[in-house]
Chain A
Amino acid sequence: MAVRTLLDAIRDTLADEMRRDDTMIVLGEDVGIKGGVFLATDGLFAEFGGARVIDTPLTESLIVGASIGAAVNGLRPVPEIQFADFIFPAFNQIVSEAARLRYRSNGTFACPITIRAPFGGGVHGALYHSQSVEAFFAHVPGLKVVVPSTPYDARGLLRSSIRDPDPVLFFEHKKLYRSVRGEVPDTDYVVPLGQARVARPGDHVTVIAYGLMAHYSLEAAELVEADDISVEVIDLRTLRPLDRDTILGSVRKTGKCVIVYEDNRFGGYGAEVAAIVAEEAFEYLDGPVVRVAGPDVPGVPYNHKLEDWFMVSPDQIAAAIRELAAF
């Protein structure tokens, strides 16, 4: 078993899937010879050639729109949007077209594409290289939304996404690309979509997170151990379809729930989780459902101090856990 970064796991999986399925193509900006701005597609051009690893013009709508057409005509496209911040020109293609194709054709057309996009802050990317965009897409029936936080999960989830018969948005946190390492088996394992992972078992407080915040939540759990607070951390891994059973099972056990997300607080993905917990586990709750989330400003500022101000920290999460535990 090899120790790999999250970025390695993604690159290895793309290559494996292209070897396994000769209908798979990769397309996007700089994905060819350069191998992507983060090197997630490095080596694919050399191995599979320009017909299957396609450098596109700066045309996000085309990257997704042509992927939809190619999928309809027998290919399995895995488009890359260079930064999630730049996905909005493709929003119409994703939401109006990819998400609705199966439904609007009464099940006679399908759209098996996996749109990969790096997202998230804490990397000095400022307003337009730091955004969390998952809430926009998790809202839409017909789409699946996946956010891995470990190399093992990245590999298993990316396999499941590429093989899935429906459109998947696969968001990769930039800060985790090289900072997280883990053992990744060489086997052809998959991590099924729609299954959360109990990243750390505990008894007193449930903390629900994904992406970078799953790691920060684990750090926070360590911090509050000294206060004799036992924290259960759930890494959602898939935001849609959502694993309600794992969430509700944990909250019914602990009676306390903290939801952590990096995106702006108002209307963020965690709000939906909070609503589900409030509706379906109300009688088990021993305190308010708490959200720890990014501030409601229109972007992550560039300056170091300003960026630190924006980003949710393990200390903030720990403070919220302590406050809730005291209820």
Chain B
Amino acid sequence: MTTRARTAAGSAALDLAADAGLRPDQLRDMYRLVALARATDERMWILNRAGMVPFVISGQGHEGAQVGLCYELRKGHDWLVPFYRSVAACITFGMSPRDIMTAQFARANDVSSGGRQMPGHYGAAIHNVLSTSSPVATQLLHAVGIALAAQIRGTDQVALTALGEGSSNQGDFHEGLNFAGIHHLPVVFVVENNGYAISVPMALESAVPDIAMRAAGYAMPGVVVDGGDVLACYRAGHEAIDRARRGDGPTLIEAKVMRLTAHSSDDQQTKYRSAAELEEERGRDPLPRFRAQLLAAGVMDDEQLAAIEAEIKVAVDDATDWAQAQPEPDPATAERYVYADEPAPGTGA
């Protein structure tokens, strides 16, 4: 690279960073999170295909949107109310690859559920990541309640909840957004629209082409953002989180993302999606796109990229090996925590 080119790249880096309101190291951190989530996710599928874990449901293609939208949340202060594709969101908000992998292996020290829930049902009390269930859209109401408590208690907290576009057709979606709109609650609703509710395409899911259009019915902004554009997602998330924290109320963000895998390890998406469609979608993958963007702008050079990739490989290998080596839950403990008869592990209660 010539000196002139390097200067030009340096200037572009500053532009990209300044435009996003982020420092170059923060941009590289965001890239690391997207790539870490992807590598963790890919490992989960490899383990499944190798017969080592019975089930995977995850978020390949959603990571850019999740990292961008969640990046401005305050860790350990705000709340994340996730869904089963929120691998990257949970990692951004403080959960580790080990946390993800112990859930995947259903080990006793899985922070999400101690091996009680299927993989993908994340939660971590110490990080303010609420435990999730399998019925969809129920979590919206929990985020609304968390935001209501934040408003009443004056805690300055924001709750961000995520769901698929399929879930946005449940009644809880309407009840939750309406109530949040009425009370100007500090909550951000993120619909990650990958175009399919398992096999049912968007055209059969929604009468309007954008879920964000429904925001008009709840007197809140409805924002459509390209889920493959990490920085566009960051700007949308930042604005919505600030708005919520200021007391100006909720926002509905619809990130148009892609589903690069089948719905779950028990699904075969080639039955209902064409090869051409899958190929086209892979071309919009946020991971190579963000990487190219940062490299072109000189925010990240090849050396830094290599270091990030090496760190991720170590982290995912470590998480896999460590999680696999952890003990399985003892059936003698299966009757615990039905009621508050016993203190939770580590609470000292």
Interface residues of A (CB under 8 A from B): 23, 25, 51-52, 56-57, 59, 61-62, 64-75, 77, 89, 92-93, 96-97, 100-110, 141-142, 144, 165-166
The 8 closest A-B pairs by CB, nearest first: A69-B145, A65-B141, A106-B114, A66-B145, A107-B337, A73-B149, A69-B142, A107-B344
- Cβ B141 vs Cβ A62 within 8 A: yes
Question: In the complex, what distance in Å separates the CA atom of A66 from the CA atom of B111?
Answer: 24
Question: In the complex, what distance in Å separates the CA atom of A151 from the CA atom of B345?
Answer: 39
17 A–B contacts, CB within 8 A, in A order: A61-B141, A61-B171, A62-B141, A65-B172, A66-B142, A68-B145, A69-B159, A70-B145, A93-B172, A96-B135, A97-B133, A105-B123, A105-B131, A105-B337, A106-B337, A107-B342, A110-B340
Question: In the complex, what distance in Å separates the CA atom of A100 from the CA atom of B143?
Answer: 17
Question: In the complex, what distance in Å separates the CA atom of A257 from the CA atom of B336?
Answer: 33
- Cβ B176 vs Cβ A62 within 8 A: yes
Is residue B116 contacting chain A, with contact meaning CB distance below 8 A? yes
> Which residues of chain B are within 8 angstroms of A97 by Cβ–Cβ distance?
133, 135, 138, 142
Is residue B121 contacting chain A, with contact meaning CB distance below 8 A? yes
Given that A102-B337, A106-B113, A108-B344 are known contacts, is A59 also in contact with B179, CB under 8 Å in the complex?
Answer: yes
Q: Which of A65, A109, A141, A142 is the one whose CB lies under 8 Å from B144?
A: A65
Is residue B339 contacting chain A, with contact meaning CB distance below 8 A? yes
Given that A62-B141, A62-B176, A69-B143 are known contacts, is A101 also in contact with B131, CB under 8 Å in the complex?
Answer: yes
Question: In the complex, what distance in Å separates the CA atom of A70 from the CA atom of B147?
Answer: 7
Provide the B133-177 mask, 1 if CB < 8 A to any CB of A, else 0. Answer: 111001011111111111011010101000000000001100110
Q: How many B residues touch A, CB cutoff 8 Å?
A: 52
Is residue B178 contacting chain A, with contact meaning CB distance below 8 A? yes
Given that A65-B176, A69-B143, A103-B338 are known contacts, is A96 also in contact with B149, CB under 8 Å in the complex?
Answer: no
Question: In the complex, what distance in Å separates the CA atom of A74 from the CA atom of B124?
Answer: 16
> Which residues of chain A are within 8 angstroms of B114 by Cβ–Cβ distance?
106-107
Question: In the complex, what distance in Å separates the CA atom of A72 from the CA atom of B123?
Answer: 12
> Which residues of chain B are within 8 angstroms of A105 by Cβ–Cβ distance?
112-113, 123, 125, 131, 337
Interface residues of B in 90-146 (CB under 8 A from A): 110-114, 116-117, 121, 123-125, 130-131, 133-135, 138, 140-146
Question: What residue in chain B is nearest A52 (Cβ atoms)?
Answer: B152
- Cβ A104 vs Cβ B133 within 8 A: yes
- Cβ A104 vs Cβ B121 within 8 A: yes
Q: How far is the CB of B100 from chain A (nearest CB, A)?
A: 16
> Which residues of chain B are within 8 angstroms of A89 by Cβ–Cβ distance?
171
> Which residues of chain B are within 8 angstroms of A93 by Cβ–Cβ distance?
138, 141, 172
Given that A104-B133, A106-B344 are known contacts, is A71 also in contact with B145, CB under 8 Å in the complex?
Answer: yes
